[in-house]
Structure 1
Amino acid sequence: MSRVLIVGAGLTGSLCACLLRRELQVKVHIEVWDKARGAGGRMSTSRPPDPSSHSADLGAQYITATAAYTRSHHSLYSELLSAGILQPLHGLIEGLRQRDDTKDYVTPLGTCSVVKHFLSESDSVDASGADLFFERHVTGLFRRGASWEVQRKQGDSEMFDAVVLTMPVPQILQLQGDLGHFLSAEQQHQLHQVVYSSRFAIALFFPPDAILSVPWVAKYVTDNSCIRYVAVDSRKRNADTPGLGPSLVVHTSVPFGMEHLEWDKEDIQPIILKELHKLLPGLPQPISIKCQKWRYSQVLTSVPGCPGHMTVLDQPLLVCGGDAFSHSNFDGCVESALSMLSVLKASLTAAP
């Protein structure tokens, strides 16, 4: 039985595992590894230390679907809407440039619920399912005949017949071993052209009696060099629950994130909070605060041509994917997962 490793339990990796389980006709052992302690990647939902507050989305905030993608990805949107994972966004987002051919969706349980849904659909109920492992940080790839030896930061290396890499491109390029030997000069050039934005995000968790008196569910800020976006996250997600305090999410601007990228979160947090209190004077005292640094926030420059994936080696298969190979939103990740699925199906079906 072929062994397939998908590195990265974000949207692209989780959907790839789900679709591979659903559509592959041959029995394959699938594993999904992520270096974090939980799934989601940049679709991250943070739970407060105190259970009396709502959770908060520190990464992706909502999903915007064009009419074209609503049609081409109809089955996935229908699945997520039917399961209650997605709901139409109804609240006011101040400063949002709405287009006539788009529709916005929110996730009542947090954006991470999309990833968890696809991972649950790929769970190992039989030999074609997927096994999920956290805190497995891949450090190197070494070709061993018809297999890949995958080394991780802690623990023994393991052998796989096919490897799918969905982490940010700079992390792919940092891998030790044989990857660099098999990348062509053109592929290396294309990968080095990928550019990401960077930013900081802060979640503030409030007690149940806190009142956030703003007319919007989220707001794009245009006159502040530090803060770009603020959301009453629980309200934005249609998730206000009696007895739970609201949560507030703040994203910095890209220039601020780039300028302070190497600063510690502990030094950045008070700067952001000072600017936040200028924007929202009289803000109640939160129970707790969490600060997140997104070194690889959104893809500003994708791999040329947006191919969806990059096949590094056919046998044993090594393929790279993610939003850097398409575009940086939900449908871009879907396009990449579908692109890699076709390569995996062809390779694994042809395998002896």
Structure 2
Amino acid sequence: MSRVLIVGAGLTGSLCACLLRRELQSKVKIEVWDKARGAGGRMSTSRPPDPACHSADLGAQYVTATSYYAQAHHSLYSELLSCGVLKPLDSPVEGLRQTEGNRDYVTPLGMSSIVKHYLTESGAELSLECHVTGLFRRGALWEVQRKAGSSETFDAVVLTMPVPQILQLEGDVGERETILSIQQKQSLQSVEYSSRFALGLFFPPDSILDFPWAAKYVRENKVICYMAADSRKRNADVAGRGPSLVVHTGVPFGLEHLEKDKEEVQPIIMQEIHKLLPGLPQPISIKCQKWRYSQVLTTVPDCPGHMTILDQPPLVVGGDAFTHSNFDGCVESALSMCRTLKASL
């Protein structure tokens, strides 16, 4: 039995784990490590501090399937729809630019429910708050070091975290002592991401959000580009539970304030929210999320789906930086990595 480590419990990592399990079944022992406190990555759903409030999607908001990918990834969409993880987006979204043939889907239980579905299907052993710091080749194995806890060895390693974090690893993969070829390093160094902030506002159960839309794209605002009454967007309002509001900043604002503390940026965003929604009730809690690696602006050249750094022992890196920054881009990367690992293992 081969021991496989997948670093990153986002969509790419969780689907890769699920596909490996389905392809190789009992031939692999799969572990998934993530430095966050919960699974989801940029498809995270933030739980409210009070169970009387609705949760909030602070990252990805919904899934858009083009006509091409609706057919190419038909089995995956059918699976998620049949088990209720995905449902059609039928709530009003102001400013949503529709493209003919596209279909939009929401997640009644939050965006992280997609990731959790694949992790459950994979049977992988999930370790959270597990921050990988170094990767060292030890003969036919990889030794993986982490910030807390002893290092462990694996037959194969898959890295799905943002590319700059891969290049910061100690050992044989980072920028210092490296097994990367010059071309591989240049390709990875060329990747660029956008940055933004997201706010989740949680309101008490008797609060009313007095506007007609479920979500809204905000045009010509220097701070905010998107807002959503999250449970309304998901068509998942529960009586007696307080609403939540999600607010995303635009990329220029995110880049301008990227190195500032969240506590310094949050009041600026709140001031703009009250200008746009002057009658907004007082929230009982606010969560501010800094997305340093929000979406990929410049991908690895030619979008190969993944990069095989070493065939034996297998070391594969992937994610939306190797395809394109949306649901189907992550799916393409996971499929690509699974084909390579299946052949290697």
Q: Give me the TM-score of the superposition, normalised by structure 1.
A: 0.96
SS across alignment from 1:316:
coil
Q: Partner of 1:282 in structure 2?
A: 279
1:340 aligned to 308, 326, 337, which one?
337
Q: What does residue 166 of structure 2 align with?
A: 172
Q: 2:323 aligns with which of 315, 318, 326?
A: 326
| Alpha-carbon distance, 1:152 to partner | 0.5
**CA RMSD between the two structures:** 0.8
Moved over 2 A (4+): none
1:182 aligns with 2:179: yes
* Gaps in structure 1 of 5+ consecutive residues: 124-129
- For 1:291, give the aligned amino acid: C
What is the CA distance between 1:290 and its match in structure 2?
Answer: 0.5
* Alpha-carbon distance in structure 2 between the residues aligned to 1:93 and 1:282: 20
Q: Conserved in 1, the CA contact under 8 Å of 2:37 and 2:129?
A: yes
Aligned ranges 1:21-40 → 2 under 5 Å? 21-24=21-24, 27-40=27-40
Structure 2 counterpart of 1:205:
202
- Shift, 1:26, TM fit: 5.8
Instruction: Describe the superposition over 1:69-114 as per-residue Cα deviations: whole angstroms up to 9, x where unpaired.
Output: 0001111101100111000000121111110021000001000000
- In structure 1, the residue corresponding to 2:43 is in which secondary structure? coil
For the residue of structure 1 that corresponds to 2:20, the secondary structure is: helix
Q: What is the aligned counterpart of 1:143 among 117, 129, 137?
A: 137
Tell whether the 8 Å contact from 2:210 to 2:279 is kept in structure 1 after alignment: no
- 1: CA distance, partners of 2:122 / 2:94: 38
Per-residue deviation, 1:42:
0.4
Cα displacement (A) at 1:273 = 0.5
SS in 2 for 1:250: strand
Counting aligned pairs with the same residue, the percent is 76
Structure 2: give runs of 5+ residues left out of the alignment: none
Number of positions where the alignment pairs a residue of Structure 1 with one of Structure 2: 342
Deviation at 1:25, TM superposition (A): 5.4
SS at structure 2 position matched to 1:320: strand
Paired residues of 2:141 and 2:153 also in contact (CA < 8 A): yes
Deviates more, 1:156-165 or 1:19-28: 19-28
Question: 1:223: Cα distance to partner?
Answer: 2.0
Q: 2:250, 2:179 → 1: CA distance?
A: 37
Q: Does the residue aligned with 2:76 lie in a helix, a strand or coil?
A: helix
Q: Which residue of 1 aligns with 2:59?
A: 59
What residue number does 2:105 align with? 105
* Aligned twin of 1:126: none
Paired with 1:2 and 1:283, the residues of 2 have a C-alpha distance of 54
Query: TM-score, normalising length from structure 2?
Result: 0.98
Of 258, 262, 268, 1:261 maps to 258
